[in-house]
Amino acid sequence: MNQPSPRIAGGLVGPGQSAGRSALEDGNGVASPNVDRTCSTVLALPSDETALARARHGRGYWKNVWTRLREDKITIVVIVVLIAIVLTAVLAPLLTPHDPLATSVFNRLKPTGTAGHWLGTDEIGRDLWARMVYGGRLSLVCGVLPVTVALLVGGTLGILAGFAGGVVNSAIMRAMDVLYAFPSILLAIAICGILGAGIGNTILALSVTFVPPFVRISEAVTTQVRSLDFVEAARASGSRTALILRYHILNNVLGPILVYATSLISISIILASGLSFLGLGVSPPSPEWGLMLNNLRPAIWVNPMVAALPGVMIFLTSMCFNLTSDGIRQAMDVRL
């Protein structure tokens, strides 16, 4: 029967050599008599300092994620566009000299390229560029803030349900099933219809709408991680529940949850714009892309380019968040 070649510091010992002769011969080529020349194996282990240096210079998980993300050119371009949209909204007072609420009867529905109003004006003479950049503030807030609130509330409930199991899991998940019985857009419309229009009610309605999906995603991922060997080993070693949740559960479930949250921002922007379009979201005359789209709807036959601009921004921003989510998911190797 063939025996595997012993491994030594210099590599594998050839079939015609013995481990003892390769490793322990003296200068005259005479092997030590105390060494079994056919069976001994000499292992070269790194020192503690060498092992520690290799561990410190090793690439961590997040560094590998960043490396894979940089190699995805489409995602990088989309992130740059998304950053430009956010900066434009944040720096709105520096980018336009016009008041987004100032009206002018003599400048109604000016076309794009008009002197002083390079994107034109709306149905009551307000500068469209000013309303677009200021409207981006409300649209982004209505997209990001509800998802953040739902992430904190739904993520906490989902992780608790997945980790505790039993009665706690059943109680939380059955309560979420009640909310799942209503379509998300109808639930948001019903909440806004009861509470009334306004940005605060819009954020509340969307937050309640997004909590059940976060609970379900968090519970499913936590249930998978809870049954893995390293969690069982931590329990067997006597680790406290809080430490297991912090160092073993959270580190392994945050990836899928954050990727899902990124994809949900685009849906939140579309739903918020839809509520404003129906008159249940942001109240006029505040600039918001969905509300602007509704106000410019009658002007589509007079100046279609001006009427389409808010819809273009809603589409562009939503696509940027979707593509960013896909890129992050691929970089993190997350499967949803």
CA distances from 215 to 111, 161, 205, 260, 261 (A): 47, 8, 17, 12, 12
pLDDT for residue 5:
44
Per-residue confidence in pLDDT tens, the chain, 336 aa: 444 444 444 444 444 444 444 444 444 544 444 444 444 444 455 555 655 555 454 456 778 888 888 888 999 999 999 999 999 999 999 998 899 998 888 888 888 888 888 888 888 889 999 999 999 999 999 999 999 999 999 999 999 999 998 999 999 999 999 988 888 889 999 999 999 989 999 999 999 999 999 999 999 999 999 888 888 888 888 888 888 888 888 888 888 898 899 999 999 999 999 999 999 998 888 899 999 999 888 888 888 888 889 999 999 999 999 999 999 888 887 655
Residue 213 to residue 308: CA distance in whole angstroms? 32
pLDDT for residue 234:
86
Question: Quick check: 108 and 124 in contact, CB under 8 A?
Answer: yes
Domain-located, residue 56: no
Residue 88 to residue 96: CA distance in whole angstroms? 10
Looking at the structure, do residues 36 and 140 belong to the same domain, yes or no?
no
Question: Which tokens go with 133?
Answer: 């950049």
Residue 19 to residue 125: CA distance in whole angstroms? 91
pLDDT for residue 42:
43
Sorted by sequence, the CB contacts under 8 Å of residue 187 that are 6+ apart come out as 179, 205, 208, 209
Number of domains in the chain: 2
Question: Which tokens go with 50?
Answer: 């060498």
pLDDT for residue 284:
87
Question: Which tokens go with 326?
Answer: 């896909």
Domain-located, residue 17: yes
Domain-located, residue 50: no
pLDDT for residue 53:
55
Residue 205 to residue 211: CA distance in whole angstroms? 10
Looking at the structure, do residues 255 and 130 belong to the same domain, yes or no?
yes
Chain centre to alpha carbon of residue 216:
17
Looking at the structure, do residues 38 and 161 belong to the same domain, yes or no?
no
pLDDT for residue 66:
84
Question: Quick check: 284 and 291 in contact, CB under 8 A?
Answer: yes
Question: Which tokens go with 238?
Answer: 């006597």
pLDDT for residue 60:
67
Residue 134 to residue 99: CA distance in whole angstroms? 10
pLDDT for residue 22:
43
- What single string gives the DSSP state of each residue in 113-142? TBTTBTT-B-TTS-BHHHHHHHHHHHHHHH
Looking at the structure, do residues 107 and 243 belong to the same domain, yes or no?
yes
Looking at the structure, do residues 4 and 71 belong to the same domain, yes or no?
no
pLDDT for residue 46:
55
Looking at the structure, do residues 11 and 104 belong to the same domain, yes or no?
no
Residue 236 to residue 238: CA distance in whole angstroms? 5
Domain-located, residue 54: no
Looking at the structure, do residues 73 and 128 belong to the same domain, yes or no?
yes
Q: Which helix (H) or strand (E) holds 12?
A: strand 11-12
Q: Which helix (H) or strand (E) holds 188?
A: helix 184-195
Question: Quick check: 222 and 158 in contact, CB under 8 A?
Answer: yes
Looking at the structure, do residues 15 and 161 belong to the same domain, yes or no?
no
pLDDT for residue 254:
87
Domain-located, residue 233: yes
Sorted by sequence, the CB contacts under 8 Å of residue 79 that are 6+ apart come out as 320, 324, 327
**Can you give the CATH number for the domain in which 244 is found?**
1.10.3720.10
Looking at the structure, do residues 37 and 121 belong to the same domain, yes or no?
no
Domain-located, residue 128: yes
> What distance separates the 2 farthest-apart alpha carbons in the chain?
108
SS3 305: helix
pLDDT for residue 144:
95
Looking at the structure, do residues 305 and 227 belong to the same domain, yes or no?
yes
Candidates 295, 292, 290; CA nearest to 273 is 290
Looking at the structure, do residues 111 and 160 belong to the same domain, yes or no?
yes
Any bridge partners for residue 127, and if so which?
121
Residue 318 to residue 181: CA distance in whole angstroms? 26
Phi/psi for 8 (5° steps) reads: -130, 180
Looking at the structure, do residues 185 and 287 belong to the same domain, yes or no?
yes
Q: What angle do CA 122, 127, 129 make, to 5 degrees?
A: 105
Domain range for residue 3? 1-44
pLDDT for residue 107:
85
